[in-house]
Chains A and B, each alone.
Chain A
Amino acid sequence: MDKFTTHTGRVAPLRRSNVDTDQIIPAVYLKRVTKTGFEDGLFAEWREDEKFLLNQAEYKDATVLVTGTEFGTGSSREHAVWALKDYGFKAVIAPRFGDIFRGNSLKNGLLTVELPEAAVEELWLRAELHPDAEVTVDLAEREVRAGDRTWTFEFDEFLRWRMMEGLDDVALTLRDEDKIAAFESNRDAWRPRTLPAAV
């Protein structure tokens, strides 16, 4: 996973709440068996509208998506995170995220930051008035900075460390393989097994 410490870039102010993962990337784009190449599926239906935010020249190069509450609810598709990353987003700011989406984002180096509604509103206004103004999303300091404004955000300490180090969960877990093996040796024998198959 890519390391994330801090990122500075332009904001795309997406004034929508309840943006579910079907809207982030519709199911017809989930047929690929690779982890890349999903940028064409990002907000595919909205992008057909030439007035849509990401079709406007001033927001084309935005790398920080600022959006309304309950972003990424619904389907567990990690493709939603891959699509945002492939398109060029490095961070997403919203008042609240769907749990599975949030977990997926942090496993792929896409930083998801929760800020209160008022802060999101201010970031939207700033980006609408000054599309070329940049914001900084700083994981090391747990801060979002825009002009003279600074907001701090909460972030789980372990997840922050893992993201800043770019660590792979599987390798971390396998350090405790002895504990897994010990747990397995103590499991009840009647617990179901898929093999051999009984039908």
Chain B
Amino acid sequence: MSRTPHEAEGARPQTLAEKVWNAHVVRTGGQQPDLLYIDLHLLHEVTSPQAFDGLRQAGRKVRRTDLTIATEDHNTPTDNLFTIADPTSRKQIETLRTNCEEFGVRIHSLGDENQGVVHVVGPQLGLTQPGMTVVCGDSHTSTHGAFGSIAFGIGTSEVEHVLATQTLPQAKPKYMAVTVNGSLPEGVSAKDLILKIISITGTGGGKGHIVEYRGQAIEELSMEGRMTVCNMSIEWGAKAGMIAADEKTFAYVQGRPHAPQGEDWDAAVEYWRTLKTDEGAVFDKEIVIDAASLSPFVTWGTNPGQGVELSGNVPDPAAFEDAIERTTAANALEYMGLEAGTPMREIGVDVVFLGSCTNGRIEDLRTAAEVIKGRKVAGTVNMMVVPGSAKVREQAIEEGLDRVFIEAGADWRFAGCSMCLGMNPDQLTPGQRAASTSNRNFEGRQGKGGRTHLVSPAVAAATAVSGHLASPADL
């Protein structure tokens, strides 16, 4: 373990992120940024075609096809597996298939059990492990930080760079800790926690920082919950979010298709155990949150920082001290068609979307199914359930969750990004209002003129039943 930086540099205590960063530095010093080695590169159809074109034009190959994997997710249909009606969408997916074949990249296409949202597929295959660097042309790559890895989203030029060199030049980040003390109260989930954090920091509060989430409430989260928290790190501007690996992490990875085995497993775990922030390590910034004070949290505005307790009201823009926040809030209320002072629980919705890389994993479907079971989706609501991957879908069917959703009147779909970003036909129509377990409530994100409230899976399910924003306790 000659690269273990802690030993190499002597006694200076380091953060988890510093350890992982330093273990991946190919080149440092001088005027240039650090050159980081990339352990895993995930590809999908939307941000890769121009990168492959770039390789072709320069006569370059994919340097490490064995550290690269592709799947189809952003632009895939969820009402069937094989017919892509829009010819432009079809061409984009076909282009990914041709590129992967030409360059020798492994791909999981529609119909394959490992097709699905790229950030669900990586962990599912055991390709996401502690202490790695993971990148993808998608900002929610921060999801993989839940395993104690440095994982972040990149643009298409950087996708090309990683394909050609398996490295990325990266300016040194700053380090931040978010410490969540105590336990989350009953009925409060990882999604409520991260929405609360973003409401405190605003959309730019994490800029330039790799954030480590820690503390009792974080340790008590399942791996799925930890992925939800890390997933939304980008929504407060953080470079990446990570959580130190522990026994839960090892148990999640062990036995998956690409997990180390035998002696390799022992060597890996021995190394992974060293990946935690040392006593006395200094963060550039720290936020401390008391978990016991939290309750279900939802958004009222058009960015993920505009959130409030479900028990609260739509805020009055005039109450914001900061002039920019005031204007932004006023614009948001106009777009959202909301009156200041309206109790959040009185807001009726037309659509409920359960899915995405934030909340499309099996645990999320179980949570929602438990609330829905024996109840009916309100007549005014269309509920869409989109599993995060084909495998999650299969597992849900084995557990009978599909029957629960179908019997309640929900629309049970195939895996993909779907209405999270409204690229395929799964879109809101102008003026429609949704409670969505996804990650962004931006104007038009889920369809032109659509209005989004970000919620947890439990709140999504309760909202589907009652027709207005609600928690299971309200039913």
**Inter-subunit contact B324/A76 (CB<8 Å):** no
Contacts of B350 in A (CB 8 A): none
Q: How far, in angstroms, from A180 to B162 measured CA to CA in the complex?
A: 12
Smallest CB separation, A65 vs chain B (Å): 17
Q: How far, in angstroms, from A26 to B440 measured CA to CA in the complex?
A: 13
B287 within 8 A of A: no
Contacts of A193 in B (CB 8 A): 66-67, 258
The secondary structure that dominates the A interface is loop
Contact A22 to B442, CB < 8 A, known contacts A100-B155, A194-B67: yes
Smallest CB separation, A127 vs chain B (Å): 18
Contact A70 to B203, CB < 8 A, known contacts A189-B264, A194-B106, A198-B257: yes
Report the interface size for chain A: residues with CB under 8 A from the other chain: 63
Report the tally of A-B residue pairs with Cβ distances under 8 A. 209
Q: Which of B65, B92, B126 contacts A195 (CB 8 A)?
A: B65
A73 within 8 A of B: yes
**Inter-subunit contact B237/A179 (CB<8 Å):** no
A9 within 8 A of B: no
**Inter-subunit contact A186/B3 (CB<8 Å):** yes
Q: Which of A107, A156, A190 contacts B158 (CB 8 A)?
A: A107
Q: Please classify how large the interface on chain B is, using the bins under 10, 10 to 19, 20 to 34, 35 or more.
A: 35 or more
Q: How far, in angstroms, from A72 to B12 measured CA to CA in the complex?
A: 37
A74 within 8 A of B: yes
Q: How far, in angstroms, from A18 to B331 measured CA to CA in the complex?
A: 11
Residues of B whose CB lies within 8 Å of any CB of A are 2-3, 26-27, 31-33, 35, 37, 39-40, 46-47, 49-50, 53-54, 58, 60, 65-69, 74-75, 86, 88-89, 91-92, 95, 106, 113-114, 125-127, 129, 132, 137-139, 153-158, 160-161, 164-167, 169, 171, 203-204, 207-208, 234-235, 237, 239, 257-260, 264-265, 267-268, 271, 302-303, 324, 327-328, 331, 421-423, 440, 442-445, 448-449
User: Can you list 16 contacts pairing A with B, beta carbon distance less than 8 Å?
Assistant: A31-B91, A45-B444, A45-B449, A73-B203, A73-B204, A76-B139, A78-B47, A99-B237, A104-B155, A157-B31, A158-B32, A174-B165, A180-B35, A180-B166, A190-B264, A199-B257
